[in-house]
Amino acid sequence: MRKIVISTIVLLFSLSVQAKVIQVLPGHNTLQPAFEQAINGDTVVLVEGNYTTDGYVQVTAAITLRSISPEVTPVVFIDYNRTIQFDAQGPVTVQGVHFASSVVDGICYIAFSAEQNHLINNRFSTCSVQAGKASYVVGNGFYNAPFSTFNSVFTLFGSNTVSTSKGNGTPAVQISGAESYLIGNTVSCLSTSTSKNCSGITVIGNRAYVVANRINHRVSELLSFGTSTFINMLNVAASQNYVSSNLVHFLNGDNFFTAAGKVQPIIASGISNVVNNVVYVTGDMAEATDADNSIGIRMSGASVIGDVQNNIVANFPGTAMSSDNQVDALEFKFNLCYNNKDNSACDAAKGNLIADPLFVDTTHFILSNTSPAINTGNPVLHLSDLNGSRADMGIHGGKYGFSQYDVQRAASDNPYIYPLFSEVNLTKVDEVTVKAVSIARFK
């Protein structure tokens, strides 16, 4: 055993000797020569300033690309409609860099071929990002820059800020593949006169934890939406998913001058638990043309099962909650409905309430002391509040209370810890197995 340990140490030492740091100065086409001389394990460091490129840029080594220090954010301008392609066979880390299109309101692309990439504290402006499989994406800003992964075995997407006015139905965030963790992100969608059907988060794959995300929808001006417009903010497909403590807020419903065709803020399918979420409309949103299929929380598919509990849906001009599966395998229980067109899902016999939730404000959505949603959630122990009391309804109730993730959403360099769970076990709800602990913003 001792010989094996010694040889391992020597091997690690030899690798560390070979790895080098390549410092790149700002300028035109200074990046590609640095990438060409880099080998696996090298670090390419960018000093403060602007970097411009011609055409397509390729990175073939598994490198770390980062800013020279946390206080500096170098800007990489990518040629219009071109790509920086990370084609390495191993993982790549990119940290503290701003990527932008060389043309105002243009488009550029960042793509990763390998698995287990790390994107930490970067900014992407009109640069679409495809992160590759099994990626860690933490603390980034995406501005009119859709983010996606495909066929990923594992994805951690946390503490990111995403805003978009791209209204072609492409989600601002799309995660495809099993075992995803979307925790503590802020996603803002802006509908404009030319791009109305803005979409927020779409997750396609089993065993997703979608927890404590703030999803805002704004409308730029008084708009006529039209019957072809479909607006959804959080769509969790596949199965064995846990959707908890997310806020979907339509901030200026008055600007829906005429109705959209269909509005479905939260959609879940397969085997899904939808717990302690809030759907809220500020203002007088016009009733959708397809009113029967405009649903605040929709459980989608004839075979969908699970529980919808401790949620609040308010001021929605459609059905508060509904399921495509009409059998008893799915229940709406201990939810609160208020001022929706159709509150029939809030059956009092199942612990539901039809009442004003009495929020202190519609920024933080904290319940007032006299709110009927306090201590009226499902009384089962595993859904109780962090202090051990019976669960409140809404985003601040339950084990994943929204405010405990505020540190992630704050503009700060302070590190914080993610617990990552081994699986979503819907049959043994009293058992939680931690797979790993991840530290974000650790520099």
Measured distance between the N- and C-terminal CA atoms of the chain, rounded to whole angstroms: 34
Residue 176 near residue 158 (C-beta atoms within 8 A): no
Q: What's the whole-number mean pLDDT along residues 401-408?
A: 80
pLDDT in tens, 65-103: 999 988 899 999 999 999 999 998 889 999 999 999 988
**For the chain, how are helix, strand and coil distributed in percent, rounded to 5?**
10, 45, 45
Residue 16 neighbours by CB distance under 10 Å:
9
Residue 134 near residue 154 (C-beta atoms within 8 A): yes
Could you give the CA distance from residue 322 to residue 346 in angstroms, rounded to a whole number?
Answer: 10
DSSP strands (E only) in 87-178: 93-95, 98-101, 108-112, 118-120, 123-125, 127-130, 136-138, 141-143, 147-149, 155-158, 161-164, 168-176
pLDDT at residue 13, rounded to an integer: 33
CA angle 163, 166, 167 (to 5 degrees): 120
pLDDT in tens, 98-146: 999 988 878 899 999 888 899 999 999 999 999 888 888 988 999 998 8
pLDDT at residue 427, rounded to an integer: 45
Residue 173 near residue 147 (C-beta atoms within 8 A): yes
pLDDT in tens, 202-211: 999 888 999 9
